[in-house]
Amino acid sequence: MIRLENVGLHYGQGPEVLSNISLHIKPGSFHFLTGPSGSGKTTLLRMLFMSLQPTDGDIHLFGQNATNVSASRRAQLRRRIGIVFQDFRLLDHLTTWENVALPLRVIGKRVSNYKEDVTDLLQWVGLGDRMYGFPPVLSGGEKQRAAIARAVIGKPELLLADEPTGNVDPQMARRLLRLFIELNRLGTSVIIATHDHQLMKQFKAPRLELHDGTVEVIG
């Protein structure tokens, strides 16, 4: 699923953010990505999503070298990945329902084939009464849940989530974790970047711990 070979990243002439990382993540696995603030968690997720290129080494996704691919090939690979950004990246001119449905619309699915799924998912994450509202009127927690619903609606092969429970209460965090676990049970590889130790205690999964630019697999 994912193979990193001696991956490193530095900005300009500055010090390396990540250094000589080699890592193999199998299909259908579940990992928490942890480390102190500034350790490179978001950077690593961005590289896995191909929105940031490493300055050293190679990243292989789905059996292909994704380090230097064409824009069209990158777009094709990204369709196999669901991602939850810390800044949500919802489109303000679309309703919450339309934002969540967008990944299915992009790949050409007919609305009649996913209308019920989108509605059910929004109700499950507690946005049933907000599905026809627009992002500017949503709270931070509501935007977070909408972003998560958008990331998982297409049942991606790989899910990357950057602090997905950072803006929700503990009860909703547990509910969202169950959603990620169910998606993983159905075959999706899941990587969740988080500082939430209570969340990690609720589900036993290996941890990718970032420290001083390197990663260690724990568990």
Paired with 124 in beta bridges are: none
Give which of 40, 10, 59, 41 is closest to 161, Cα–Cα: 41
pLDDT at residue 14, rounded to an integer: 74
**Mean pLDDT, residues 101-123:** 95
Which has more pLDDT, 71 or 98? 98
pLDDT at residue 68, rounded to an integer: 81
Does residue 30 have a pLDDT over 90? yes
Mean pLDDT of the residues in the chain: 93
**Mean pLDDT, residues 80-85:** 94
How large a percentage of the chain has pLDDT more than 70? 100
How would DSSP label each residue in the chain? -EEEEEEEEE-TTS-EEEEEEEEEE-TT-EEEEE-STTSSHHHHHHHHTTSS--SEEEEEETTEE-SS--HHHHHHHHTTEEEE-TT----TTS-HHHHHHHHHHHTT--HHHHHHHHHHHHHHTT-TTTTTS-GGGS-HHHHHHHHHHHHHTT--SEEEEESTTTTS-HHHHHHHHHHHHHHHHTT-EEEEE---HHHHHHS---EEEEETTEEEEE-
**Mean pLDDT, residues 45-60:** 94
pTM over 0.75: yes
- List, in order, residues 6 or more apart from 71 with CB less than 8 Å away: none
**What is the CATH number assigned to the segment(s) 28-53+68-218?**
3.40.50.300
pLDDT at residue 13, rounded to an integer: 74
Does residue 15 have a pLDDT over 80? no
Does residue 44 have a pLDDT over 80? yes
